[in-house]
Amino acid sequence: MNRILVIRGGAIGDFILTLPALRALRHANPHAHIEILGYKHIAALAENRFYAQAIRSIEYGPMSGFFARDSELSPELSSYFSSFDLIISYLHDPDGIFENNLRRCRARKIVSGPARIDNSQHAARQLAQPVQQLGIQVKNFAAQLYPSNEDRAWARKFLADRARPIVALHPGSGSEKKNWPLESWIEIGNQLLNWENFSSSVVVVAGEADGNQAVKLDSIWKNPRVVFAKNLPLPQLASVLEHAIFVGHDSGISHLAAAAGATCILLFGPTDPSVWAPLNENVQVLDAPNEDLRKLGVDVVHAELSARLGRPVISARR
């Protein structure tokens, strides 16, 4: 196959969980032109970073016609879709309207992937199904990112003169129920900053959905060892996290950190880690008692973080 299009919307974590399938697709078609139609700020993680040579925004007005039955289709998009030898679509298309419109464009081969994940098996395994339908074996279900030289150069500049190790904290997620209480984050951060004879830097990761937490932490941690990574482009954030010790929740940023190579301590509550936790070897999952993150003690997280930092476990409260 010379030209392959992967249509992948969804949030950050959804996209990263699809990368094992895309890696197998790339290995099976090393010389193909692979393009991704998705949210550009997320798909940028794959553009000219091993997986794909190009990306295109799914948020394009004429695309709407492809989701309506018997609609007038954009000639430009019709020509675009027909130019691919294979289209793999992860779009939610229960009535087959989108796929039928692709066929109206004379798309050559279409394979559909699961748009929604159930609890039958790990999400990455479910998302690999369309690639496996093509006879391609997926051997490794741990996602991996491939930062560019420019990404890494940017990260070195961002972290210049910062004491190592880098401890990255991400106190947010897509749902309040998946979040450890902010008071617990404050306590674990204070412990890091108050450890005697030990210098580390703390990077607080914050995106658009984490504004409230970031504002509160910014007002509390007036410390030169703390830097806030706010709304960074995802390829650059991945490079910042590449060699960090990362603490986070069940979130897209946690998948980003794991795929970038960070040593991850992930706090899980109401969601099932057997379905949603990254499968990377560098990930340690801490399950909250009764799936309630309010019941996950600071001492538990403190002990895990101490072990990763090579520090003796001391009292979690001062």
Q: Is residue 122 part of a domain?
A: yes
If one counts the domains in the chain, the total is: 2
Q: Check whether residue 103 and residue 195 sit in a common domain.
A: no
Q: Check whether residue 10 and residue 128 sit in a common domain.
A: yes
Residues with Cβ within 8 Å of residue 30, at least 6 apart in sequence? none
Q: What's the count of helices (H) and strands (E) in the chain, helices before strands? A: 14, 11
Give the residue among 248, 305, 182, 201 at the shortest CA–CA distance from 314. 305
Q: Check whether residue 118 and residue 199 sit in a common domain.
A: no
Cα–Cα distance measured from residue 284 to residue 180, given in angstroms and rounded to the nearest whole number: 16
CA 267 from chain center: how many Å? Answer: 16
- CA-based radius of gyration for the chain: 21
The residue range of the domain holding 173 is 149-309
Each residue's pLDDT, cut to its tens digit, for the chain (318 residues) gives 899 999 999 999 999 999 999 999 999 999 999 999 999 999 999 999 999 999 999 999 999 999 999 999 999 999 999 999 999 999 999 999 999 999 999 999 999 999 899 999 999 999 999 999 999 999 999 999 999 999 999 999 999 989 999 999 999 998 899 999 999 999 999 999 988 777 889 999 998 777 678 888 988 998 899 999 999 999 999 999 999 999 999 999 999 999 999 999 999 999 999 999 999 999 999 999 999 999 999 999 999 999 999 876 544 443
Q: Is the peptide bond before 165 cis (omega within 30 degrees of 0)?
A: yes
Q: Check whether residue 80 and residue 188 sit in a common domain.
A: no
Prediction pTM value:
0.95
Q: Check whether residue 113 and residue 155 sit in a common domain.
A: no
Q: Check whether residue 271 and residue 179 sit in a common domain.
A: yes
Q: Check whether residue 176 and residue 285 sit in a common domain.
A: yes
Query: In this predicted structure, what is the pLDDT of residue 312?
Result: 65
